[in-house]
Amino acid sequence: MANPVFTFLSKLIRKLGMALLIAALALVTYSLWLFGCERAEYEDRRAQLTQISATESTSVHGQLAEVDRKQADIVRELQTQQQRALQAERILKTIHEMDAGVLGRLFGDKNELKSHEDRIAQVEALKTNAQTRVVELQREFLASQNARAALAESLMKVQQEELALKQEKHPAEHYLRTAWNEARQMVIAVFIVYLIGDSVIAVMLYYGWATWVSRGRPVQLPAKGTAVPVIGESAVVVENTLWPGEVLWVRRKLLHAADDGLNRRKKLLLNWRTPLSCCAGGLSRLVELRNARSDGQRGVVFANADDPFAELSIVSVPEGGSFVLRASFLMGLIVGREQVPVIRRHWRLFNWQSWVSGQFGYFEFSGPCRLIVSCVSALQADTLAARDDGKPVMRRATQEGVIGFSPRMEFKPVRSEGFLRYCSGRSPLFDLQLVGVGVVLLRDAEERRGRDDFRARMFKFMGL
C-alpha cells in the first residue's frame, strides 16, 4: 500500500504544476488576443507608448512640484499661526497678572473693568482662531503628504514602464508584459481557484451543508406488519426448493438448473401495475416455474450466467412482514399457491432527505414470499435486534451500498466519517444511517467502486 503522505504530496505537486500550466496558458492566450487587437506595427506602438510614458512622467513631475510648493506654503503659515497662538498666550498671562482682584471688581471703576474684560476676550478669540487654524493646516499638510506619496508611486510606475519599453527586444516580451499588467489579478485568481478551490468547497460542504443535513429528522416508510425477514447466506451458487403449489418467477440468466417435475412457462412482466419500472429494472420476460405436483418439493439452482463471480442471497419474508428492496437487484420471486405478489411503491418527492440521497422511489415486497437477490459484489446481511437498555440500534453504511432494509426502520443521510477520505474521493459526502429493529442487506463498497454510471444513478432515483 502506498504511503498516504507520499500520495498526498505527489498529488499536491501535480496539482500545483497543472495550476501553473493553466495560469501560463491563460496569460499567453490573453497576450495573443492583445496582439490580434493591435492595428499598428510593434515599433509604432512602442514609440506611441514611450511618448505616452514621457508625457505622464512630465505631468507627474509638475504635480509633484506643485505639491511641494503647497507644502512649503502650509509650513510657513503653520509656523506663523503657532507664533500667534504663543504670543496670545503670553499676552493673556500678562493681562491676568494685572487683574485688580476681588476688591478692585467691587470698588473699582466700572469702565476700566469693562475695558479689561473686553481685551481679555479679544486676545482669547485671537488665540482660539490661531489654534483652530493650526489644526486645519496640520490636516492639510497630512493630506498633501498622502497626495505626494501617491504621485511618487505613480512616478515610479511610469519610470518602470519607460525602462521596460527601452529594454524590450522582442514583440512577444511586450505583449506578455502588457497581458500580465492588465490581467494578473484574473490569472492569479484562476491559479488560486484551481489550486485550492475544490478544497474550500469540500470544507464548506463537509462542515456546513453535511452537518446541517445530518441534524434533520429521519424518514420512515409506512409498514403494517412487524415480522422481520430472514436473509440467507451469500454465495456464488444458491440452491432453493419449491414446495407444492409455489411459483417462481426468475430472470433467465439466473436460472442455472431445475428439477424436471416443474412446469415451465414465460411471464412477460413481474407486476403489471408498474410496467415501466419492471422493464427498466429488468423484471420482464421472466421464466415461470410452478410446482403443480403434490408429491414433495422440487429443487432449483441459481447462478449468474453473465458474471460467474456475482453473489446471490435469498431473503425470506414471512407473513405479516415486508422488505424494501431496490428492484434492479431482484432476480426472482417465490410465492405460495394461488398467491398474488403484493408490491407497493412508495414515492418521496417532497422530502428533502430524498433530494440529498438522490433516491425518491422505494419498492416494498410483502410476505409471505422469498426474494432472490444478486449483485456483482459481495452481499452482507446485518440484523439489528432490540437492546436490553432500550437505546436505539443504529447502522451506518454508504448510500449506494444499501440494497434493502426493513420498512419499520428509520433512515436519514448523515455526514460521512473522515474529512480526508471525503476530500480525497475515497468516500461520499453522505452515508445512510438506519435506526430501529430489522434487517439490512448491503453490498461491498470496495468491490463496487468504478461501476456507477448515469444509468445506475437513474435506477437509484427510481428505486431500481
CB under 8 Å to 404, separation ≥6 — which residues? Answer: 315, 323, 324, 325, 326, 329, 373, 440, 441
pLDDT recorded at residue 166: 63
Apex 48 CA angle, 43 and 52, nearest 5:
145
Looking at every residue in the chain, the average pLDDT score rounds to: 79
58: amino acid identity, one letter: T
What is the predicted pLDDT for the residue at 449? Answer: 42
Contact criterion met (CB below 8 Å) for 262 and 229 = no
CA distance 428 to 425: 7
User: At residue 194, does pLDDT exceed 90?
Assistant: no
**Cis peptide bond N-terminal to 428, omega within 30:** no
Percent share of the chain, pLDDT over 70: 83
Which domains are seen in the chain, by residue range? 16-206 (1.10.287), 230-462 (3.60.160.10)
Q: Binning pLDDT at 50, 70 and 90, where does residue 4 land?
A: low
Look at residue 452 and tell me whether its pLDDT is greater than 50.
no
**CA 134, 137, 139, 142 torsion-angle sign:** negative
- Check residue 48 and give its pLDDT: 65
- For 364-423, write each residue's pLDDT tens digit: 898 889 999 988 878 888 888 877 777 878 888 888 888 899 888 888 888 888 887 887
Q: Does 298 have pLDDT greater than 60?
A: yes
| Residues in a beta bridge with 84 | none
Which residues are 414's β-sheet partners?
431
Q: What CA–CA distances, in Å, run from 12 to 19, 26, 117, 163, 196?
A: 10, 21, 82, 38, 10
DSSP character at residue 306: S
User: Looking at residues 75-91, what average pLDDT do you find?
Assistant: 82
pLDDT confidence of residue 209: 87
Give per-residue pLDDT as tens, 219-256. Answer: 888 877 778 899 988 889 999 989 888 999 999 888 88
* 191/186 Cα distance (integer angstroms): 9
Under the banding of pLDDT at 50, 70 and 90, the label for residue 168 is low
Per-residue pLDDT for 436 more than 80? Answer: yes
Q: When comparing pLDDT for 137 and 281, which is higher?
A: 137
Positive or negative: CA dihedral 328, 333, 338, 339: negative
Q: For the chain, give me the number of helices (H) and strands (E)?
A: 11, 19
Query: Which residue in 183, 164, 184, 182 sits closest to 174, CA to CA?
Result: 164
Q: Are strands 402-405 and 284-290 parallel, antiparallel or unpaired?
A: unpaired
Residue 45: pLDDT over 70? no
Give the model's pLDDT for residue 316. 92
Cis peptide before 368 (omega within 30 of 0): yes
**What pLDDT does 301 receive?**
92
Looking at residue 315, its pLDDT comes to 93
The pLDDT, as a whole number, for residue 372 is 92
What pLDDT score does 300 carry? 92
For residue 451, pLDDT over 50 is answered with no
